[in-house]
Structures are given as C-alpha cells and as structure tokens.
Amino acid sequence: MAGDAKLDIYLDGNCAFCQWSRARLEPWDRHGRLNFVDYNDPQVAASAPFTLEELDREMHLRLLDGTWLAGFDAWVAILRVLPGLAWLGWLMARSPLRWVGPSVYRWIAAHRTLLPGVPPACTRETCAPSARRAS
C-alpha cells in the first residue's frame, strides 16, 4: 500500500468506543493519511454500500481507489499507512496472523466494551442516534 494513501474510516461518531479508538490512532497519523467520517451523517451513510447495521458491526474503510475493506483487513490497511506502525501492519498481513486475525478481530469486535481501558458500552442516553436506529 502506498505510503501517501488516504483512508476514509467510517465510524459511529456517537460511540464512545469508536471515539476512544480514533483518539489512539490520531497521534500516529503524522502525515494526515486517516480521514474519519461519521456514518450517522446521512450523506456519509449514503456513500457506503453497506447498511447501518453492517457499519455498526465492524470497522469499514474506503481506499483512494474506491476499494472497501472491513474488519481485520481494515485494521491492516490502517496500520500500514502509519509510519510508526507500518511494521505491525506488515506482520499482521503474514501467516499465521493472516489466518487467525479475522477470527480474533470478530471476537474483539463482539466484546469490545468489555476490554480493559475501553469506555463503557453506549446506552440510549450516550448514543442517541445509534439507539434510535436500533429501536
């Protein structure tokens, strides 16, 4: 992946976990390669070929060429464009991590609010737009 690639990362701007993750990535993005977009914005959601439920379930991103990646593959792409973490992206794209990574990602995504140091799960009060979609 090109070092100057710009990635559009689709996230829930009302989700505490999404904001927590973003805050941990941004310091590594010294060259402005990550563009975070909130899929609660109807125009942003319309630009993605996914349902809101799919966007909620796992991370999605769009490469400059229009290619979409999700889940583990999205994280590999993110890491590979960040100079200080490119080595980790390279490592994750190799066997055996390439084989087990998607399963590990799905487990982490399903249990993300239970991980140490992560903010609590969203509630109707803390994530109103997401909660409205679910009701």
pLDDT tens-place string over residues 28-63:
999 999 999 999 999 998 999 999 989 988 889 999
Per-residue pLDDT band for 4 (boundaries 50, 70, 90) equals: low
Place of tokens 């290619």: 67
Say if 1 falls within a structural domain: no
Range of the domain at 86: 7-134
Q: CA-to-CA distance for 46 and 11, rounded, in angstroms?
A: 14
Listed in sequence order, the residues at least 6 apart from 127 whose beta carbon sits closer than 8 Å to its beta carbon are 12, 14, 15, 16
Total number of domains in the chain: 1
Residue of 9, 4, 69, 62 whose CA lies nearest to 32: 4
pTM strictly above 0.75: yes
Say if 2 falls within a structural domain: no
